[in-house]
Structure 1
Amino acid sequence: MPTQTMRAVRLHEHGGPEVLRYEEVPVPEAGPGEVLVRVHAVGVNPPDRYLRDGLTRVPGKAESTVGLPVIPGTDVSGVVAAVAADVDGLAVGDEVFGLLRFPGFDGSAYAEYVAAPASDLARKPAGIDHVRAAGAPMAGLTAWQFLIELGHDHPSPFQPAPHRPTALGTDTTVLVNGAAGGVGHFALQLAKWKGARVIAVASGAHHSFLRELGADQVIDYTRSRPEDLVRDVDLVVDTVGGPDSRRFLRTLKRGGSHFPVFPGDFDEDETAKLGVTVSITQVRSNGAQLAELGRLLDTGTVRVAIDSTFPLAEARAAHERASRGHVQGKIVLKVA
């Protein structure tokens, strides 16, 4: 019996967007604990580009498990096509979405079919389409695990202590840097859902969008430095992170917290003197949490903004769009 084939995007070498090849490969089989998903849409995330550029080991992993050629991608939305014998709760025909096998680079989502751990999946909210569902998992779970509930006890590769979200309520002020991006626009909406006052930092082109999402104050970082304008916030969520993230420490009140999504450069003596906490975590696949987020998506309490869509065959163009920056929401690949 001939092997069934599908179309997928693979890397045979590392490099720029031009190394993404659209080609024919075997359809995977669902192993124990897995379902086979007929993919309708795929979310494009920073780790996809890191893998393409040559990063093959995620923080916390002792060694790389990536061998070339490899299919990148972790975020999917689609329909269950087959179910392993040991899987309960999902059936052929169910619409699902999920963040697959993260942290790791073996999600293999840029394809017409993917074998997905059932525990990584949740039922797709009926109120949104596959494109928006595919844009939610990694960015939405990152915001959820930073702000709402960590949801696991795995050691952090970034700090010895477990990350603990800050309690959010009507007496809380949250500053979100990079608020228009994938994680940022989810963080803004989740903080508003909890009743917090939110200060959003982004370029001026995104300000009406951020007001629509509920931002109470919007700062254009191209005109003003937010650390010169803001004081006494309870929480900073910096979705940009990196070496400059420490500049936001001065915006916090004593007892406040700073959550950089990407590791920054912080001085323990400085944070102790200021009386603030810096904490970071690593997003992990979690179907149960995604189901909770899905209920907010279904009711419209939280929405997924789509920057742009591309056919799977044009993954290169999607990566080129991502590299230009100033993304509003998510970039998604549509699978025919």
Structure 2
Amino acid sequence: MKAMTYPQYGGPEVLEQSERPDPKVSPGSVLIRVKAAGVNPVDWKVMAGYLDQIMDVTFPVIPGWDVAGVVEAVGLDTPEFQVGDEVYSYGRRDTVQGGTFAELVALPASAVARKPQSLSWEQAAGLPLTGLTALRSLDVLELQSGETLLVHNGAGGVGRAAIQLAVHSGARVIATASAKNHARLRELGAEPVEYGDGVADRVLALAPRGVDAVADFAGGVLEATLAALKDGGRHVSIADGSAAAHGGRYLWVRPDARELDRLSGMVDAGTLTVDVGATFPMEEASAAFAASMSGHGGGKIVLTPFS
């Protein structure tokens, strides 16, 4: 099969198109024909070696953890799926090697869910990691109707999902973003503020008594988080491990088909949608990574099949 691979740690320049063996379909797994693969910042961070201390890597690596596609084959003892099912997945493994930037990917059935009918392939591929992260963040914060939530990096994929889920729960949402993204955040139900120096003051101008909860999807904003948070408030970060030392939670998300099913229900009910900012054919994954690294904030970046 065709796949994008990298033979060593590095930047986008180490990515190359290559031929790899078709994945084996082990018991309890499904083989997926890739229709679209989501690009997440963690993909190029893994490629740069930032996670080497916590994850074993076997080169050459096929990057990518998000996928939407069609079941091509099922392994033994996999009654949940059959050939032809439309599915999607957050497919992180314990070992970095066989990812989703390929024609085929084999994943455990426990990480695979049926694709929301109302989403395109590209939208579905852009949802798993960001959607699960947003969902888990709000679960951890125990956000209640009537509370005020501050979202750092509201224009990112996780931020956009979190805004929608929080607004649906009845919360008030203040979200940081660059001015060019403010109109879209208002459409999603948030009150946008410019990020950067003085952000805590801008938040407190809207919520003088402080916010009830903060979701940090940016990193480097702990001081602003604590300044904007009211006494007894809760905060969670996916980008700053020091949050735990200041009364918050540092969050990672595991693959979980049941949680994906929760997201699917929200999507098909009209509660949640996915903004796709750009698509690239699979062979242009280097350009997609460069776009992701630029922090464009225009919606999810997604790879489509090899041309």
Q: TM-score interval w.r.t. the shorter chain?
A: over 0.9
The answer on 1:235 being equivalent to 2:213 is yes
CA contact (8 A) 2:244 2:250 kept: no
**Alpha-carbon distance in structure 1 between the residues aligned to 2:51 and 2:151:** 30
The answer on 1:123 being equivalent to 2:100 is no
CA contact (8 A) 2:58 2:97 kept: no
CA contact (8 A) 1:127 1:299 kept: no
AA paired with 1:45? N
Which residue is equivalent to 1:158? none
Which residue is equivalent to 2:26? 31
**Alpha-carbon distance in structure 1 between the residues aligned to 2:244 and 2:268:** 42
CA contact (8 A) 1:174 1:235 kept: yes
| Secondary structure of 1:26 counterpart | coil
Which residue is equivalent to 1:68? 59
Which residue is equivalent to 2:176? 201
- TM value normalised by structure 2: 0.93
**Alpha-carbon distance in structure 2 between the residues aligned to 1:69 and 1:104:** 12
AA paired with 1:52? M
Shift of the 212–104 alpha-carbon distance from structure 1 to 2, 3 Å rule, reads farther
Q: Indicate the structure with greater strand content.
A: 2
Shift of the 102–245 alpha-carbon distance from structure 1 to 2, 3 Å rule, reads farther
**Correspondence 1:188-267 to 2 at 5 A:** 188-215=163-190, 217-221=191-195, 225-229=198-202, 230=204, 231=208, 232-242=210-220, 244-265=221-242
Count of residue correspondences: 301
CA contact (8 A) 1:246 1:265 kept: no
- TM value normalised by structure 1: 0.85
**Alpha-carbon distance in structure 1 between the residues aligned to 2:269 and 2:99:** 30
Cα shift at 1:103: 5.8
**Correspondence 1:274-289 to 2 at 5 A:** 277-289=247-259
Worse-matched range after superposition: 38-47 or 23-32: 23-32
AA paired with 1:228? D
**Alpha-carbon distance in structure 2 between the residues aligned to 1:40 and 1:212:** 29
Unaligned runs of 5+ in 1: 1-5, 149-164, 272-276
CA contact (8 A) 1:174 1:198 kept: yes
Unaligned runs of 5+ in 2: none
AA paired with 1:73? G
Q: What is the aligned counterpart of 2:39 among 44, 55, 69? A: 44
Which residue is equivalent to 2:153? 178
**Percent of pairs identical after alignment?**
43
Cα shift at 1:56: 4.8
